[in-house]
């Protein structure tokens, strides 16, 4: 691919910087992105005798006698808490719980608009993993699911594993399972375009944080050969002699034992030599991955550079260095590999069958559903997986997740595929149409364009 001219690069950079500029105008304009609206009818003030006292005592007593009735009488069946301590926010690092709120509100907005899920941002003023675990457990009566977000490692693993064991509602860490599911979807179709077999492909993973560790686990379960994977952290490749990781980072140590068949010891450049796929979820900013490293990869490599808010290398630079397929985590470039394609629908499916957990199998089912939907539309080097505009995919993905939950025996409601499809479609369409109606009626105002 011909390298872009200086003028073209300036235009591309300006385009890439525009979302941040717009965000600084629109966040203070709306003063938040979500709010609570009634969902029940209020014909006149007499109806409050039904929705509140004295009538509300009847459903309260019914729930006391039959605890599962809380899913019938309240909105618990459709609610998710988005919980963070603000220690690992996007590529910004430890910015604290207050500064994390715009991200958590954005998450809640996407939950509702794309999945019809009522999500609430909850940023905790503690970094103590035991306090976080205790606090989240206290929330269980009020929520149908927990979405952990932007928690630093290694505590994110402890928090997730403990809560999944000790809570009776689905708990997942979106930076782990969500990112893994969408990355797998993109990888499935990228390999199809390259006519490569998943079990044969050589993959270098740059970054060994929560996201890439979860991605490695999921793609290996989906068919990637562990020995064909080389992971790289800030100190070099993970290999059998990295005893510095054994006690402090047991998750990394596990991959030291199972990946990197040749026990390669080196840096990113050496790990990328002759690699067919790059999965980078590491330090944001151009030049984290250098053009010369991509040049030394195998012919026509697949390059996923998914750090946010700025990818490890600009996609046009990766293409100029020989990459055949490039994906980023941004919606303003082709091939957005972002967990926004996963979490709304995965939780939709889990909530619809009242799943007790979200398994790796459910994540893989979501990934295959995303990949199949894009393939039906016609995949290409610039269209690996659906975009957020393909709203119908969220219903299909929810169905796949719900059916997998039933298959694995973690669902309390046994619905048919058709019942799940009708249910999820109706809920998602309602959320979409409600927002459009509020905009049309100018209940949601539009800012003056500048």
Nearest to 183 by CA among 218, 133, 235: 218
**How confident is the model at residue 165, as a pLDDT?**
95
The question of whether 14 is a catalytic residue gets the answer no
357: closest CA among 279, 434, 410? 410
Residue 4 pLDDT: 66
Sign of the alpha-carbon dihedral angle for 251, 279, 150, 119: negative
Same fold, 35-175 and 195-323: yes
CATH of domain 35-175: 3.40.50.10380
- Secondary structure (DSSP) of 294-360: HHTSSSS-EEEE--SSS-SS-HHHHHHTT-SEEEES-TTSSSB--GGGTHHHHHHHHHHTTBS---H
Cα–Cα distance, 9 to 86 (Å, whole number): 33
Catalytic site residue from 107, 155, 252, 368? 107
Domain segments of the chain as ranges = 35-175, 195-323
Residue 303 pLDDT: 98
Burial 206-239 (b: 16+ CB within 10 A, else e): bbbbbbbbbbbbbbbebebbeebbbbbbeeebbb
- Sole residue written with tokens 């910087």: 17
Phi, psi of 52 (to 5 degrees): -130, -150
| Largest CA-CA distance found in the chain, in angstroms, rounded | 74
pTM of the model: 0.91
Which is it for the CA torsion 203, 260, 280, 215, positive or negative?
Answer: positive
Domain spanning 195-323, CATH class: alpha beta
Closest by alpha carbon to 86, among 78, 68, 98? Answer: 98
The tens place of each residue's pLDDT in the chain, 450 residues long, gives 455 677 777 777 777 778 888 889 899 999 999 999 899 999 999 999 999 999 999 999 999 999 999 999 999 999 999 999 999 887 788 999 999 999 999 999 999 999 999 999 999 999 999 999 999 999 999 999 999 999 988 899 999 999 999 999 999 998 889 999 999 999 999 999 999 999 999 999 999 988 899 999 999 999 999 999 999 999 999 999 999 999 888 889 999 999 999 999 999 999 999 999 999 999 888 789 999 999 999 999 999 999 888 899 999 999 999 999 999 988 888 999 988 999 999 999 999 999 999 999 999 999 999 999 999 999 999 999 999 888 889 999 999 999 999 999 999 999 999 999 999 999 999 999 999 999 999 999 988 764
pLDDT of residue 3: 58
Distance CA 129, CA 95 (A): 17
Pick left, alpha or beta for residue 431 (phi over 0 → left; psi -120 to 50 → alpha; otherwise beta).
Answer: alpha
The rounded distance, in Å, linking the Cα atoms of 288 and 282 is: 8
Q: For residue 37, what are its two tokens?
A: 């609206």
Nearest-5° angle of CA 115, CA 139, CA 151? 70
* Separation in Å, CA 83 to CA 80, 100, 118, 213, 276: 9, 10, 14, 21, 36
What integer pLDDT is reported at residue 1 of this predicted model?
45
Tell me the β-bridge partners of 237. 232
List the structure tokens of 184: 């797998």
Active site residue 221: no
Is residue 53 classed exposed, middle or buried when 0-12, 13-18 and 19+ CB atoms within 10 A define those classes?
Answer: exposed
Backbone phi, then psi, for 145, in 5-degree steps? -165, 160
Catalytic residue among 11, 25, 39, 52: 52
How many Å apart are CA 304 and CA 318, to the nearest integer?
10
């Amino acid at each position: 691919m011909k390298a872009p001219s200086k003028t073209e690069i300036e235009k591309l950079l300006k385009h890439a910087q525009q979302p941040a500029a717009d965000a600084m105008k629109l966040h203070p304009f709306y003063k938040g992105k979500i709010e609570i609206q009634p969902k029940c009818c209020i014909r006149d003030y007499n109806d409050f005798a039904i929705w509140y006292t004295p009538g509300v005592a009847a459903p309260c007593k019914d729930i006391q006698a039959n605890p599962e009735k809380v899913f019938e009488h309240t909105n618990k069946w459709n609610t998710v808490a988005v919980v963070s301590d603000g220690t690992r926010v996007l590529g910004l690092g430890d910015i604290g719980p207050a500064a994390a709120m715009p991200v958590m509100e954005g998450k809640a907005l996407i939950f509702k608009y794309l999945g019809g899920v009522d999500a609430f941002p909850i940023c905790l003023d503690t970094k103590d993993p035991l306090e976080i675990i205790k606090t989240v457990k206290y929330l269980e009566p009020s929520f149908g699911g927990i979405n952990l977000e932007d928690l630093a490692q290694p505590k994110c693993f402890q928090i997730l594993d403990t809560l999944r064991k000790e809570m009776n509602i689905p708990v997942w860490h979106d930076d782990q399972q969500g990112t893994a599911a969408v990355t797998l979807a993109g990888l499935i179709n990228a390999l199809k375009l390259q006519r490569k077999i998943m079990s044969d492909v050589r993959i270098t993973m740059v970054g060994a944080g929560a996201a890439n560790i979860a991605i490695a686990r999921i793609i290996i379960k989906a068919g990637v050969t562990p020995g064909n994977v080389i992971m790289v952290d800030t100190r070099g490749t993970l290999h059998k002699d990295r005893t510095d990781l054994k006690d402090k980072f047991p998750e990394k140590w596990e991959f030291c034992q199972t990946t990197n068949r040749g026990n390669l010891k080196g840096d990113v450049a050496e790990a990328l030599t002759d690699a067919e796929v790059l999965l980078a979820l590491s330090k944001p900013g151009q030049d984290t991955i250098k053009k010369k490293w991509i040049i030394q990869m195998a012919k026509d490599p697949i390059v996923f550079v998914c750090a946010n808010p700025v990818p490890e290398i600009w996609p046009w630079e990766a293409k100029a260095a020989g990459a055949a397929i490039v994906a980023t985590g941004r919606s303003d470039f082709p091939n957005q590999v972002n967990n926004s394609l996963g979490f709304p629908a995965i939780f939709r499916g889990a909530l619809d069958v009242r799943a007790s957990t979200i398994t790796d199998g459910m994540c893989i089912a979501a990934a295959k559903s995303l990949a199949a939907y894009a393939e039906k539309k016609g995949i290409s080097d610039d269209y690996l997986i659906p975009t957020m505009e393909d709203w119908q995919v969220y219903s299909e993905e929810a169905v796949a997740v719900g059916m997998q939950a039933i298959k694995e025996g973690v669902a309390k409601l046994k619905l048919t595929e058709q019942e799940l499809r009708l249910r999820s479609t109706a809920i998602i369409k309602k959320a979409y149409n409600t927002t459009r109606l509020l905009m049309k009626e100018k209940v949601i105002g539009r800012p003056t364009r500048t």
